[in-house]
Structure 1
Amino acid sequence: MNEGNTALTWHVDLSDQKLPRLLLRLAIPSVIGLSINALQQALNAIFVGSLGAQAIAAVSMTMPIIILLGAIGEGIGVGTASFISRHLGAGDEAEASRGASTALALAAPAGLIMTVALLAILRWVFIALGASPTILPIAIDYATILLPGSTLMLLTIVSGFIVRAEGSTRFSMWTMLIAFILNAALDPIFIFLLGLGVRGAALATMLSQIAAISFYTGYFIKRTGTVLVSISQVSLRVDLIRQLALIGAPATTTSILAALAGMFLYGATARFGDDFIAAVGIAVRILTIGALPITGFCIGSQAVLGFGWGARDFARVVKVAKLMVSITVSLSVVYSAAVVAFARPLVKLFSDSDNVTEIAVLSCIVFHLFFGFYGIQSFVTTMLQSLGRARLSAVVSFARQGYLFIPAVLLFPGISGFSGVLASQAVAELGAGMIALFVMLRQFAELRQGARDP
């Protein structure tokens, strides 16, 4: 009886006809959860920043590797969330359960393989990224401790997608909140009190991941949600795995491109010195803080979009899409304006070096010039994933950090130096937003036509 009450407490009815209320009930916990993740990254950066420019530069150069690992979990998670929400909308809970269980079974070995491979070539990776002799040993210390916990990170990511896809976004929020509080408490203890430096920051992050996966494990064991996750539900059916892979592949590729984009960005910046790497790292973190809440709203809408698509209720999908566009665009425009206006005090939170501050302020302003388009780009990608349109979602999601950014960051710095590094991000942001806007208008027209046809 208690377990049933708990399930009702965490679960949200995806068929609720009051769409604004439904979206807010799903999205706000996701926004809070991902905002907590952004704050966790910012807090780590603030603590590490007090150790000097080399320390924050080393941690910043590790981010592309972490993004690369997270790409596997995000790809599996996105494919699974779309699969679950569409099958729940069609009333097939058994198939949704098989998809969730199979996804977790795939995530664990994938994480182990990636961890072993990266540890074997870690020094070469940092050298390829342009790490200077002063940064290299710090970056290796940080990554060597953080990487062994990456399998837990993958399982946590996939578990979060499963829980949110069935409407239990509040459970995911509280799990991330507890992990953040633990990380925030352990950071100063390990970094300063125990004198572990950047290794302490990595250890605190890993322990917070252990706490998060423990909560998700308890959620599944107690069968708190609609979807049943167990070994008995794991299926090796080719068609099931293919569905998970096809929808998740663009998300995985997008995250891999983000990792490569980060590598190219820091590689292009490294030629100008450690202060420039630290400054760009700060600007990227501030950009991420703004992006994650918007992503949280999109993730919150994914279950509703997929559920409506599975039920063939196209009018409902259009209503959700319009509401989400208004929210995400408003958030991205307001955030970009706020960062441009208050760039200096924001940067000062991360560094007390005058030179790093000046470079980071300029970087923040340029990086956020066209961030207002991010709301469109993020939502359109999520919508296409929810509807199972993998190829079109790839066209939109690959633009911002892939086929627009990478050529620009390779070409522009050779023409105009560090200004070219900054311009590459602004051009990619603008171009990706315009592509997303065009695709969105086409999709709206198709959905309206589907709603009119019997």
Structure 2
Amino acid sequence: MAEITHARVLRIAAPIVISNATVPILGAVDTGVVGQLGEAAPIGAVGMGAVILASLYWIFGFLRMGTTGLVAQAHGTGDATEVSAGLMRALIIAGAAGLALIVLQLPLFAAAFWLSPASPEVEALTRDYLTIRIWGAPATIALYALTGWLIALERTRAVLAVQLCMNGLNVALDLLFVLGLGWGVQGVAVATLIAELSGVALALWLARAAFADGLWRARSIFDRVRLATMARVNGDIMIRSVLLQASFTSFLFLGAGQGDVQLAANQVLLQFLSITAFALDGFAFAAESLVGQAVGAKSLRGLRRASIMTSQWGLGGAILLGLGFFIGEPWIIDLMTTAEPVRESARHYLPWMIIAPLIGIASWMLDGIFIGATLTREMRNAMILSVAVYVLALLVFVPVLGNHGLWAALMVLNATRGVVMGRLYPRAEAKAAG
């Protein structure tokens, strides 16, 4: 495989960092546009609808990670047929999943409103939003697969191009449909649907090499061994992701028990974790691609260089983020909320956010390494053990330390993941050594 250098790592990581930076901007524009209507209900409807769909689509997020690891390994071995077939399998799953969501939309939306009831006006507007956007489900889930495939081949500038196309078109259509034509909440939904369809069309065009020369023929796509491997990898990732999401959900629920001010402060500080994840994802994605290729090529040296170099950049980013949070905390917190009690409480717990990137960086980078090496069973088992330790930490710390104990337990979760996966890292080297 080609020599792994710092420049190569940055070529993969930088477009992902820029791409991620555009994500919160789109949400802000959606909210800002409907906010110009002068009513509260449309804002709540757009926010609620987006959360419901994000929760449904998130279930299939394993397609992004699983596709990256498997295709990167195929690329490392020089198996062009499998590089193409890997994308086709993922797209078939994405299409089936998207169609299933469309067919099951009525019971799914009913369950969502039962879990999170809203006023009749907000619920009616949210249903209007959902019944339009749900038609983009196959495209949105397919984008997970296409993004994973492009990352596996180090084509992250293509990922950035798709993201900029989608978000730019979405913003322009938001302004046209909502402010220009007065379509309200439905205008936001139509704008997003058109942007999603346009994004997947561009991504398919950028991935057109996978469709060439008959490399995707059915015999390769439906190979039993490959299908079994894909099912195992994706199943492990899904279990791991569900456990991780459950841990954050429990954090929010337990924070609510600390009072409204503490809950709001925790919500503000969680945005710091989101910023951290967006900023460091690029280096974890670089690890997925480069480690996967090294494992496919049976290059122990390549795996070590990929693991070390991507982790060096990840650690540097974590240190910069910690310093940035320390220096900029008054401005960042004040920007997020005008409620003085919430500001004061958030500042009280800010030290946890300053150390969070340093505590979490090992687990985040090892996630990337293990995905590239498709050590997904190890990832799953590490998460199971870490969640068990997290629950124990909650039982011990929260009754004594209150909200500080809650944050301490969250740090314990990430630290445990890092330690456990660190001890399992030699398995990645063994896999590369063949």
Report the TM-score, using the length of structure 2 for normalisation: 0.81
In structure 2, the residue matched to 1:387 is 373
Equivalent position amino acid for 1:433 in 2: A
In structure 2, the residue matched to 1:28 is 14
Structure 1 residues 424, 101: closer, same or farther in 2, change over 3 A? same
Following TM superposition, by how much is the alpha carbon of 1:59 offset from its aligned partner in structure 2, in angstroms? 6.1
Q: Kindly report which structure 2 residues correspond to 1:5-404, keeping only aligned pairs within 5 A, or say none.
A: 15-41=1-27, 43-44=29-30, 65-117=52-104, 119-129=106-116, 143-190=130-177, 200-221=187-208, 223=209, 235-261=221-247, 263-265=249-251, 267-268=253-254, 281-352=267-338, 366=352, 369-397=355-383, 403=388
Q: Kindly report which structure 2 residues correspond to 1:403-418, keeping only aligned pairs within 5 A, or say none.
A: 403=388, 415=399
Equivalent position amino acid for 1:238 in 2: R
Aligned: 1:435 with 2:391: no
Q: How far, CA to CA, are the matches of 2:321 and 2:48 in structure 1?
A: 25
SS at match of 2:22: helix
Q: Deviations over 1:330-380 (max 9, x none)?
A: 212322342354344334445555566556666766555423222211110
Q: Deviations over 1:163-210 (max 9, x none)?
A: 221222211111112222223334455555556666554444333222
Equivalent position amino acid for 2:371 in 1: Q
Worse overlay, 283-292 or 189-198 = 189-198
- Report if aligned partners of 2:94, 2:141 keep a CA contact under 8 Å in 1: yes
Q: How far, CA to CA, are the matches of 1:102 and 1:228 in structure 2?
A: 15
Equivalent position amino acid for 2:139 in 1: L
Worse overlay, 94-103 or 350-359 = 350-359
Q: How far, CA to CA, are the matches of 2:376 and 2:152 in structure 1?
A: 18
Equivalent position amino acid for 1:34 in 2: N
Cα RMSD (Å) of the superposition? 4.1
Structure 1 residues 387, 355: closer, same or farther in 2, change over 3 A? same
Which segments of 5 or more consecutive residues in structure 1 lack a partner in the other structure?
Answer: 1-14
Q: Deviations over 1:226-280 (max 9, x none)?
A: 9977575762233212211222223323433455455545555667898877665
Structure 1 residues 80, 109: closer, same or farther in 2, change over 3 A? same
Q: Deviations over 1:372-431 (max 9, x none)?
A: 22221111012112112121111345677x556678779988x589x54x7535422333
What is the number of equivalent residue pairs in this alignment? Answer: 433
- Report if aligned partners of 1:168, 1:225 keep a CA contact under 8 Å in 2: no
In structure 2, the residue matched to 1:9 is none
Following TM superposition, by how much is the alpha carbon of 1:313 offset from its aligned partner in structure 2, in angstroms? 0.9
- Report if aligned partners of 2:12, 2:282 keep a CA contact under 8 Å in 1: no
Following TM superposition, by how much is the alpha carbon of 1:307 offset from its aligned partner in structure 2, in angstroms? 1.0
Equivalent position amino acid for 1:128 in 2: L
Q: How far, CA to CA, are the matches of 1:354 and 1:197 in structure 2?
A: 33
Q: How far, CA to CA, are the matches of 2:207 and 2:128 in structure 1?
A: 35
Q: Deviations over 1:125-166 (max 9, x none)?
A: 344357688976676565554444232111111111112212
In structure 2, the residue matched to 1:11 is none
Worse overlay, 24-33 or 65-74 = 65-74
Structure 1 residues 345, 185: closer, same or farther in 2, change over 3 A? farther
Worse overlay, 76-85 or 46-55 = 46-55
SS at match of 1:312: coil
Q: How far, CA to CA, are the matches of 1:450 and 1:390 in structure 2?
A: 13
- Report if aligned partners of 2:283, 2:311 keep a CA contact under 8 Å in 1: no
Structure 1 residues 231, 311: closer, same or farther in 2, change over 3 A? closer
SS at match of 1:342: helix
Q: How far, CA to CA, are the matches of 1:169 and 1:446 in structure 2?
A: 27
- Report if aligned partners of 1:308, 1:314 keep a CA contact under 8 Å in 2: yes
Which segments of 5 or more consecutive residues in structure 2 lack a partner in the other structure?
Answer: none
Following TM superposition, by how much is the alpha carbon of 1:71 offset from its aligned partner in structure 2, in angstroms? 3.3
Structure 1 residues 245, 111: closer, same or farther in 2, change over 3 A? same
- Report if aligned partners of 1:84, 1:165 keep a CA contact under 8 Å in 2: yes
Identity, in percent, stands at 20
SS at match of 2:221: coil
- Report if aligned partners of 1:80, 1:161 keep a CA contact under 8 Å in 2: yes
Q: How far, CA to CA, are the matches of 1:404 and 1:54 in structure 2?
A: 42
In structure 2, the residue matched to 1:12 is none
Worse overlay, 378-387 or 347-356 = 347-356
Structure 1 residues 117, 310: closer, same or farther in 2, change over 3 A? same
Worse overlay, 345-354 or 173-182 = 345-354
Report the TM-score, using the length of structure 1 for normalisation: 0.78
